[in-house]
Amino acid sequence: NAGVTQTPKFQVLKTGQSMTLQCAQDMNHEYMSWYRQDPGMGLRLIHYSVGAGITDQGEVPNGYNVSRSTTEDFPLRLLSAAPSQTSVYFCASSYSETKANVLTFGAGSRLTVL
Amino acid sequence: AQKITQTQPGMFVQEKEAVTLDCTYDTSDPSYGLFWYKQPSSGEMIFLIYQGSYDQQNATEGRYSLNFQKARKSANLVISASQLGDSAMYFCAMREGSPHTGTASKLTFGTGTRLQVTL
């Protein structure tokens, strides 16, 4: 199993450009989520999904869109990139039927907005 | 108020010694879970250990143990017999609510503790 796969690993954008960070998991996990990590601030939740067709906002959703058309994929869209969105982005997934429902994270995507 | 507080920005420990990384949390939900993740310099997030609020015993996973003091709202990570490969950033995180609902995705993270293991 590949686990949680994120692409691209690195991306540089200019202010105002749009892009999509891809996330795919092959573990048949129902729950998926996107976090961002900024220096000195830990990880913060952007959006999450409890299953195909269902998404909800996290702590810092502004400037980001998500959709979940399949169980496997959960892309994160930046509609008009801003320098404040320079960060490392992590996608995560988990399976609700386990005791702990531990999040498995992807390797991260480093985004720089100029 | 911070939901997860890690007061040690950096820690040093000698190889083969034990080290405790502090974590305090704040919640009024009777059902919650506490997690520790390791982030090496390569950047990935590696799950280490979990403690549920209703678990009677402290969690252990190999060299990792969680010192769970519910009344004090603390969930300290203890690493025994430190190794050079333990040098990394360590994050404490909390889930509020049941692990079987959508809130399971909503972890609140602390700011982390950077651990450096020395010879």
pLDDT tens for residues A28-83?
999 999 999 998 888 999 999 999 999 999 999 999 999 999 999 999 999 999 99
Q: Would the CB atoms of B112 and A42 count as touching at under 8 Å?
A: yes
Residues of B in contact with A58 (CB under 8 A): 106
Select the residue of A32, A94, A108 nearest B43 (Cβ to Cβ).
Answer: A108
Look at residue A100 and tell me whether its pLDDT is greater than 90: no
A24 touches chain B (CB under 8 A): no
Q: How many CB pairs under 8 A join A and B?
A: 74
CA angle A54, B92, B53 (to 5 degrees): 75
In the predicted model, what is the mean pLDDT of chain A? 94
pLDDT at B20 over 70: yes
Give the pLDDT confidence score for residue B104 in this predicted structure. Answer: 78
**pLDDT number for residue B100:** 81
**Predicted confidence band at B1 (pLDDT cuts at 50, 70, 90)?**
low
Q: Which of A57-61, B62-66, B103-107 shows the lowest mean pLDDT across its residues?
A: B103-107
Distance CA B115, CA A66 (A): 35
The mean per-residue pLDDT over the stretch B60-88 comes to 97
How many angstroms away from the CA of B107 is the closest CA of chain A? 7
User: CA A65, CA B57: separation in Å to the nearest integer?
Assistant: 41
**How close, in Å, is residue B119 to chain A by CA atoms?**
27
Q: CA A99, A105, A107 angle in degrees (round to 5)?
A: 160
pLDDT at position B2 is 77
Q: B48: closest CA among B13, B12, B86, B101?
A: B86
Closest residue in chain A to residue B89, using alpha carbons only: A42
DSSP state of A1: -
A40 touching B (Cβ < 8 Å): yes
Phi/psi at B61 (5° precision): -145, 95
Please name the residue of chain A whose CA is at the shortest distance from the CA of residue B52: A100
Judge: B110–A42 Cβ closer than 8 Å, yes or no.
yes
Token pair for A7: 């692409």
Contact B109 A42 (CB under 8 A): yes
Beta-carbon count within 10 A of A31 CB: 24
- Residue A2 tokens read as 């590949």
CB contact under 8 A, A103 and B106: no
The shortest CB-CB distance from B104 to any of A44, A58, A94 is to A94
Q: Is the pLDDT of residue B95 over 90?
A: yes
Angle at the Cα of B40 (from A85 to A14), degrees rounded to 5?
20
Share of chain B above pLDDT 90, in %: 90
Three-class DSSP category at A85:
helix
CA atoms A105, B2, B23, B52: torsion sign: negative
Minimal-distance CA residue of chain B relative to A31: B105
Is 90 exceeded by the pLDDT of residue A1? no
B29 to chain A nearest CA, in Å? 16
Task: Tell if the CB–CB gap between A99 and B104 is shorter than 8 Å.
Answer: no
For residue B21, how many other CB atoms are within 10 A of its CB? 23
| Rg, chain B, Cα only | 14
Share of chain B above pLDDT 70, in %: 99
Beta bridge partners of A19: A78
